[in-house]
Amino acid sequence: MTLQFISDPPWKENEKTLYIVKQRNEEKDMEEIGSLTFVLSEVHEREGMKIFNIQSEMKMFRVNFSEKTNLITNAKTFRPIFYNSSILAPTGHVIIKGEYLQSEVKVSILTSGTLQKHKLRFSGEIYDNVEIFHILRSLRLNNFQKNKFTIVNLNALAKTLVEIEFIGIETVEISLGSFECYRMKLNLPDFPNGKQFFLYNKYKPHFLIKNIKGPQIIELINVSNG
C-alpha cells in the first residue's frame, strides 16, 4: 500500500533538532552514549522538482564514532535522490555516496584509498534509512492502516522490509516537558528482534519526541533554526 503524506512537510526552514542517545548499563541506569542531530532545509526546486535536504550527524562516545550524512530527497514523495556519508571511526575514514535511479542505486565506497562500486537493485517504492524519522512524522494518519515498505541502508548495502502500525495516543514526559504523542510501532518482518517504537508530537510540526529500540532510547533535547 502506498504511503500517504500530508500535503507539505511539517517542519520549518532549517529546522535543527538535537537528540541524546541513552542505553541501560550493567547497573540498570540509563547512560548517555551518543547524540544525533538533524537539520532540514527549506523545500526548493531543482530541474522542475521540489526537493529538500536532510543533514544528520551521529556521534557514539564509547567507540569514538561519528557520521555526517546528507540526503537529497523528493519533497512530495520522499523518494531519495542523492546520498552522501562521511564516517570517522577507529578503523579509519569512509566516504559513501549513492545515486538513486529508477530501479537501482549506484553506490561508491571509498576507504583507505580504495574505491569500491556497487549496484543495489530494487522495484517499487523505496526510502532511505536516513529519512525514516521524518517520513513517519509526515504520514497522513487519518484512517491509517498497517503498512509495509522498503528501507535502503547504503552503509550496509542492504534493503529491509519494514512494517509500520499506528498504536494510539499517549502522554510522554521528557526534559523539555510533557507532550501528547502519536505512538507508532515499527517491525522488521524478517528480523523478529527488530521492533521499535516512535513517539511523535501530536501537533505540528510533529517533532519526534522519543524513539525506543530495545534498551536504547533516542530523546529530543533541543529544537532551533539551523
Task: State which residues form the domain around 163.
Answer: 15-225
| pLDDT at residue number 1 | 62
Q: Specify the pTM.
A: 0.92
Averaged pLDDT, 187-201: 92
Q: Write out the three cell numbers for 151.
A: 528501507
Coil vs helix vs strand at 186? strand
- Which whole-number Å values give the CA distances from 8 to 94, 133, 140, in the listed order? 34, 16, 11
User: Does 165 fall in a domain?
Assistant: yes
User: Does 9 fall in a domain?
Assistant: no
d(CA 214, CA 50): 37
User: Does 8 fall in a domain?
Assistant: no
User: Does 123 fall in a domain?
Assistant: yes
Residue 94 has pLDDT above 90, yes or no: yes
User: Does 3 fall in a domain?
Assistant: no
Are 78 and 138 within 8 A, CB to CB?
yes
- Total number of domains constituting the chain: 1
Q: Write out the three cell numbers for 136.
A: 513517519
Averaged pLDDT, 31-47: 93
* pLDDT tens string 128-185: 999 999 999 999 887 777 899 999 999 999 999 999 999 999 999 999 999 999 999 9
User: Does 5 fall in a domain?
Assistant: no
